[in-house]
Amino acid sequence: MITFPCAKINLGLNIVGQRPNGYHDLETVFYPVPLCDALEIKYMGEEFPSEVNCDLKVTGNVVNCNEADNLVIKAYNLLAKDYKLPRVHAHLYKQIPSEAGLGGGSSDAAYMIRLLDERFRLNIGKAEMERYAARLGADCAFFISSEPSFATGIGDELMPADGPKGNLDGYHLAIVKPNIAVSTKEAYANISPHKPEKCCRDIVRQPIETWKDELINDFEEPIFNRHPDLAAIKKQLYQLGAVYAAMSGSGSSLFGLFKEEPCHLNTAFANCFTFTAKL
Ligand SMILES: C[C@@](CO)(OP(=O)(O)O)[C@H](O)COP(=O)(O)OP(=O)(O)OC[C@H]1O[C@@H](n2ccc(N)nc2=O)[C@H](O)[C@@H]1O
Ligand SMILES: Nc1ncnc2c1ncn2[C@@H]1O[C@H](COP(=O)(O)OP(=O)(O)O)[C@@H](O)[C@H]1O
């Protein structure tokens, strides 16, 4: 059985507080985008000599961690504590760039939970799957439904975000990921939490033309200061005609929303990964 874990972008991201354990409370609108990995599971025969009950083959982009640390394996092992799961081979075809603020690893984890639930008829239920997912990463729960969501807490408390769906239908999305790595942990360490004047959930209900002046990703300022090339890409997206452009999550990818399909992205952003799709 095969599934296609999607990426996300953040429409606004405000870091509003910090917890005693160091984690941050945030407000953001997660929006699913059609840039996907592929994840397949197959039965592992009884005769197959394996020390583990789930092994993983990764093709496509390189994922910079051991098999045991891959979130696909962690998702299997988490469910295996509570459910009797058959042994499986997993195959991940990686297309979503890593350390991009696109949530690729989190999505793989959540889609593995969904895949195991469906394939082996575990009947876990959406709310419980979201709880399992949140144990693997702060923004994993969103990918259980992958519906536009307003997220609070550490990114794990979700409500449907009605605004952007209608607003963005028919717009063209461009994602640009330069060869710059930003660690999420480090990104959070450079933030002073504060409440925004206006909540991103309300701003995304307004016409998209107003987003440029009002919708903020709090990570941009400190990260742009250290990586001016990222600020330059955002500026270039506006020069190419974006109605709204921003960094996604803790970076390092930038995205633009366009009324018309943007042309010549590969030339404009040579040496970067680029992706376009009509929403
Ligand atoms: C910043 C966001 C915004 O959507 O996305 P990405 O840029 O990673 O895609 C998320 O909050 C990323 O969530 P996620 O990627 O699941 O983070 P985790 O792996 O759980 O945490 C990595 C590290 O980030 C910090 N962290 C994470 C989430 C949070 N609400 N507060 C934090 O302080 C912690 O130091 C943690 O050890
Ligand atoms: N299936 C996976 N895909 C990508 N990264 C993974 C995966 N499993 C574990 N990781 C680890 O998680 C780290 C961050 O995940 P990633 O999805 O790239 O972050 P981001 O949400 O910032 O884009 C990676 O650098 C990698 O070490």
Q: Give the pLDDT of residue 165.
A: 66
Nearest protein CA to atom 24 of ligand 1, as residue: 185
Q: Which of 4, 56, 71, 253 to mutate to test the pocket of ligand 2 (most atoms within 8 A of CB)?
A: 71
Q: How far apart are the first and last CA of the chain?
A: 26
Is 102 annotated as a binding-site member? yes
Per-residue pLDDT reduced to its tens digit, 79-110: 999 999 999 999 999 999 999 999 999 999 99
- The structure tokens listed for 18 are 């910090």
Q: Which atom of ligand 1 is nearest to the CA of 8?
A: 9
Structure confidence at residue 48 (pLDDT): 82
Contact between residue 115 and residue 1 where contact means Cβ atoms under 8 Å apart: yes
139 is catalytic: yes
Q: Summarize the chain as % helix, strand, coil (round to 5).
A: 30, 30, 40
- Closest atom of ligand 2 to 94 CA is 3
Residue ranges of the chain with per-residue pLDDT less than 50? none
pLDDT tens digits for 188-231? 988 999 999 999 999 999 999 999 999 999 999 999 999 999 99
**CA quadruple 91, 38, 184, 265: dihedral, nearest 10:** 140
Distance 202 CA to ligand 2 centre (A): 30
250 marked as part of a ligand binding site: no
Q: How far apart are CA 134 and CA 48, in angstroms?
A: 32
pLDDT at 190: 87
User: Domains in the chain, start-ordered, CATH in brackets?
Assistant: 2-160 (3.30.230.10), 162-278 (3.30.70.890)
